[in-house]
Each structure stands twice: as structure tokens, then as C-alpha cells.
Amino acid sequence: MNKIVPPPAAVVHNEQENVKALFQKYVVPSYGRFDLAFKRGEGSHVWDVNGKRYLDLGGGIAVCSLGHAHPEVAETLATQARTLLHVSNLYYHEPQGRLAEKIVRHLAPGKVFFCNSGAEANEGLFKVARKFGHDEGRFEILTAFNSFHGRTLGGIAATGQDKVKKGFEPMTPGFRHIPYNDLDAVRQALSPATVAVLIEGVQGEGGITPARADYLLGLRALCDEKKLLLLMDAVQCGHFRTGRFQSYQRILEGVPGGEKFLPDGISTAKSLGGGFPIGAFWLREGLGDLLSAGTHGTTFGGTPLGCAVALKIMEIIERDHLAAHVRTLGDWLQVELNGLVRKYPQVLKEVRGLGFMIGIEFQPKENIPVLAADDKPASLQVVNRLHEAGVLTIPSGTQVVRLLPALNLSRTDAAEGLALFEGVVRDLAHGA
């Protein structure tokens, strides 16, 4: 009995596989997920369960407006949770009123309704449009091809992409699609039933395509002429992402007549709560009262907690001049990325976007031998390679990689991201 027994095999903890196993067993598989599981974040960095650090240039798809674990946001959340977390919309409370006031002050006189997501904000706009046209029998809303407006039944009917509708027919009636940035197409599509036009100021899921200034001004004039509502889905491109509160303000800067432009309704969500789920829509003066008591509502809309967080985020964005920061650093990023397009024309096709909403279009896969060898779309393969390099980005369609970083992304982090991105592009150019 004096023989030494061999030691037992070490227990291998593979936290990532354990987390994945839970999803495989218990979570509806409606998302195509990357092979990454995250544990914590700080500023523009996140750490996966294995302790690897990533620079987050995807921002939770334009959600984490102040990055991860912002101390002031965390403090506001905790304090409000200890004070008053929820009361129903049967009552009044200050944070909802204050947040509505702040949004109105950034836009123009009008009123705000609070909800929980982008799709829900758009649903509200659809209802406003139907109410607006109801007595004249008008209900149809025109939206753009390649748009994205959410995953509810109304949202997929409004979205101008077949892939979101497939399998969920029949579609909710009352939506028709028109080519984006084409004013004549809108004019030709109008019917006696048309009541509104809904567009994104910068198409996000469609591959980062900004509206042209003349299109916006033309749409406004056409909507005025035909008594239509001009509605804008700012869920992704709004909330300072382009370097102004709203993308149209940035697009129309310095354009004659641009300062007078105003949509009739705007939906917002993503960046508004910085990660706390909150959505909203703003309606221009005179329209806000269309939704009279009892006509629209949602249990969780505009809770004290959500509104206190969103209010704090807006205060920080203003205090720290983040809109100006987004313009300067966003412009710099685009200049640098355009430099890469010139340096690696066989890999990169084009850079588009405004502020911190940037799309990098890759050349067709056939032109890049190492990507052509794999079935996956170029965008997914590049995003995966960027993961290897320690950067999070978001694919958009088959050809575009999106950057939607936190509005407080530092110049150092931006430069680091750019260098890592160039490394991936260089490899592709050299067939690695």
C-alpha cells in the first residue's frame, strides 16, 4: 500500500461550451450567433469567458452609446432602482416627463411616447399614420427597399427586405416599398390610400446608405403637397450617432433650406438607453394629441428606471461634447479607411456612412481567393477574422462590415481598431 496512485485527470472547465450548451438546449435558435461568449465589459472593451479582450466597435449594434459599465450610468441605475423602479402609466413621475422634455428640446416642439424597443416605436408610428388618415380612408405607408424596421408583424411588413418576411405570410396590409433615394419613385407610387412615407436617415441593416440631402428636402415638399406624414426611423442612425442628434441634421448641414427641415415623426431606441431597453417616438406639434387617452399604451413604457438612465446618458453626451467628438473622430476614421481602400483596392471596395455609423464594403468574394474558398459570405468571414484579431464589428448583408462604436470611443482605441482592421485586410490582400 505504499505505491503512489496516479493523479486524477484535471477537470477541464470549458465555460464557453457550457454556456453554448445551455443555449442549444433552452434558447430558441432564431439568431445566427458567433462562437463567442462574453462575461464583462469596460468602456469600449469586452472580455469573453476565456479572458480574451476585444475592442468593441459594434457597440451591441449601436446600443452601448457610452460603452460598457459606464460608472455614472451604473450609479444612476442603482440609485433609481433603490428609489423607484417602476410605476405604471396610470400615474405620473418626473423622469418620464424630463426625458420627453429633453428629446423635444433637441428636436422641435412636439410630444414623445415611450416604449421598449425599436420595432415597438415604429409600430407606434404606424398607428399614428393610420389614425391620421383614418377619416379619409388612407392607411398605406411607403417604405424603402433595403430598409429595416423591426421584427413584429408590422415591422416585417414595413421592412423592404424579403428575407425577414419569408415564412410569415400573409403580410400585414398597408405597406409598399419604393427604391431609396429616389424621389420620382415615391411620386409614382402614391395612391389615394397613401398616408405616410417612412425612411431611415441612414439605412443601417441595408448596408449603411445615407439619404441624400435633395431626397430629404424633396420628400418633405412632396409630403406637404400630398398631405402625407414624413416619418423617420432613427432607431439606429439617431441619438447623436452621426455627430448630430438626428442624421437629417447632419445630412442637411449647410444645405439651403436644410435648417427648416423637420419630419412629422421620429422613432428611436438602440442608443437611447445605452443598453437599458427603452424606445420612443417623437411627434411634431399638433400630431402628438392624435393618440388620445386609451388609444395606445405599453406596460413598461417609460419606467422611472429606463428614463433616469436615458436622461443621464443624454446629459453625459451633452456635457462631454460627444456629438462633436463623433464628428471629428468619425471623419478621421473615414479618411483613414478610405486610405485603406486606396491601398488595398483588390480587397476593399468603398467606405460609406456618417459619424460613428460606418460601413466598409468588401470586393466580391471571387476577387479575394482566401474568402472565395469558404461558403460563408465575405462579411461574415471578415467579422470572424476580426474576432481572431480581437475586434468586434457587425456584418451587414454579404459585403459590408459595420462599425457602430460607443459615442465615447477614444482616439487611442479608434487607432488600435484601425490597425487591427488593416492587419486583417493586409492578410486578405496577401492571400493569408
Residues at the site binding ligand PLP, with contacts judged by CB under 6 A:
117-119, 122, 148-150, 200, 204-205, 233, 235-236, 269-270
CB of 151 vs ligand PLP, minimal distance in Å:
6
Tally Cβ neighbours within 10 Å of residue 6: 6
Q: Which is nearer to ligand PLP, 107 or 428 (CB)?
A: 107
Tally Cβ neighbours within 10 Å of residue 112: 21
Q: Which is nearer to ligand PLP, 117 or 381 (CB)?
A: 117
What is the distance, to the nearest Å, from the Cα of residue 18 to the centroid of all Cα atoms in its chain? 30
Q: Give me the half-sphere count of Cα atoms (radius 13 Å) on the Cβ side of residue 103.
A: 30
CB of 255 vs ligand PLP, minimal distance in Å:
23
CB of 382 vs ligand PLP, minimal distance in Å:
21
Q: Which is nearer to ligand PLP, 209 or 249 (CB)?
A: 209
What is the distance, to the nearest Å, from the Cα of residue 311 to the centroid of all Cα atoms in its chain? 19
Peptide bond into 345 cis (omega under 30): no
What is the distance, to the nearest Å, from the Cα of residue 235 to the centroid of all Cα atoms in its chain? 5
CB of 121 vs ligand PLP, minimal distance in Å:
8
Q: Which is nearer to ligand PLP, 44 or 146 (CB)?
A: 146
CA distance 289 to 124: 13
CB of 83 vs ligand PLP, minimal distance in Å:
27
The alpha-carbon radius of gyration of the chain (Å, integer) is 23
By Cβ distance, which residue is nearest to ligand PLP? 118
Taking Cα atoms as reference points, which of 276, 244, 273, 277 lies closest to residue 261? 244
With left for phi above 0 and alpha for psi between -120 and 50, is residue 166 left, alpha or beta?
A: beta
CB of 194 vs ligand PLP, minimal distance in Å:
21
Q: Which is nearer to ligand PLP, 43 or 207 (CB)?
A: 207
Q: Which is nearer to ligand PLP, 276 or 344 (CB)?
A: 276
CA distance 145 to 159: 7
What is the DSSP annotation of 121-158? Answer: HHHHHHHHHHHHHGGGT--EEEEEBT----SSHHHHHH
Q: Which is nearer to ligand PLP, 61 or 370 (CB)?
A: 61
CB of 410 vs ligand PLP, minimal distance in Å:
25
